[in-house]
Chain A
Amino acid sequence: MDQSDFEADRRVNCLIESPVCERLKTEPCWLGIDEAGRGPVLGPMVYGICFSPVADKEKFGSMGFADSKTLTEEQRDNIFSEINSALDLLGWMVEILSPAYISRSMLRRDKYNLNALSHDCAIRLVKTAIERGVNVTELYVDTVGDPEKYQAKLKEVFPTIDVTVAKKADSLYPVVSAASICAKVARDKAVKNWEFQERIILDEPNYGSGYPGDPKTKHFLEASFDRVFGFPDFVRFSWSTAALIMDRDGVPVEWEDDEEEDGVPQDTPTVSQFFKRKSEPPELKQHRFFKNRQLAPVTSL
């Protein structure tokens, strides 16, 4: 899988796709969606889709796709080459969601949560397949969040397509298994070939699975930590593991949208204050022109 576009700029998302043969445009197709790397605190999350003519479901099923998690990396790579030698039967696309994109999205002013982000990416991929001319009639998705709500959302966007959202869809439907293999191969490659633009030197080049519980991942997080900036952008800052380390070992940083400690404004006046006799002359106040602009006089240079 050629990832040179992503490698040119790892801070933005990247779409990689197979050619789409004529059959996929004329015959009704089923399309499977799955993701890889949703849980890890490190690296991109990848969404994958795979599509094939409904008429060839049996042939497709005999290709021996299985849930990517039950396969070794080598098996996945082999199956992925098989996928690429069967492009008269199927097509695939993956979108690499960069960890910097995930952090930026989840840490915006109005938070964009991971479920919404995942749903939008899945929808974007299906739309792209349709734009390329793929005649999608059936959609199979491994659930993210509540399956019924996800199903309703997809049904609304794709009213003419038959939508199936199921738990463990990646082991039930070979077209979803194939999508999961494409996604997983893309994620593994992106993680393996990661280059740090932050010029971080690691004593231990292996960062483990990327899951917060993995000792190698923990070690990487500690070794790459900077007290001011936090982590390299390989790390998802929005994960609680990362946020906890920044709170514990980092320099304190306050943002204007930080939540107030106790929600109640400190200087709310009591009613009686308005009826008090004003004994002293009011002090000279700065005009609000200056207040609004945070300007203050300096008396001597």
Chain B
Amino acid sequence: MATFIDTKSLQSSSALDSCHLMPCKISHDGEAKTSNFFHPSIKEEGELKTGTFRGRPLNGKVLNVPSGYTGVMLTEPHKRATEEEDRVLLASQKFDSFTYWNLDKEPSSDDQIQRALQWIDLSAVLHKPISPENSQDSQESVKGK
């Protein structure tokens, strides 16, 4: 199976100014009164934030999408019936930064989302075209081992 992402609807839209990654699964798809309920609960101390959702304590931090990349919100209009079928996801919104929230735990570099973003640097190194000079370096470092 393969996964396809349809980004057509992103061409014209502008980036969201506020985007939150919650530490829980909320079975709701649509509008919500975030500015009445969620935003007033947020307090900032330096780069760390605290907030609450349904009375539970959250700790958050703003993460920027690495330059050269775009954050996108995905929806799946048609759920596939079997694991073998291809998935088609629709990119509905884009963002340059977002706040990710942990449940009652201060954000750290151990958090899954921060670790996931490490791949971007790693993949850049792995996929960098090999030019004559730096291929020399890597040959040596392999020999050195």
Contacts and interface: CB of A to CB of B under 8 A. Distances in A.
Indicate the size class of the contact surface on chain B.
20 to 34
Contacts of A289: 119
A300 B23 contact: no
A300 B119 contact: no
Interface residues of A, number: 43
Interface stretch (B12-20, B48-56, B61-69, B128-136): B48-56
Contacts of B36: 198-200, 226, 229
A98 to B, nearest CB: 11
B2 A253 contact: no
Contacts of B119: 289-290, 293, 295
Contacts of B57: 104, 107-108
A107 B52 CA distance: 10
B27 A253 contact: yes
B103 A229 contact: no
A200 B4 CA distance: 43
Interface stretch (A51-59, A62-70, A254-262): A254-262
Contact of A109 (B27, B37, B105, B112): B105
Contacts of B37: 198, 226, 228-229, 232
A296 B3 contact: yes
Contacts of A257: 103
A236 to B, nearest CB: 8
A100 interface: yes
Contact of A198 (B2, B3, B40, B118): B40
Interface of B: 2-5, 7, 23-28, 32-33, 36-38, 40-41, 43, 52-57, 103-105, 112, 115-116, 118-119
Interface of A: 11, 100, 103-104, 107-109, 197-200, 226-233, 236-238, 242, 246, 251-257, 289-290, 292-301
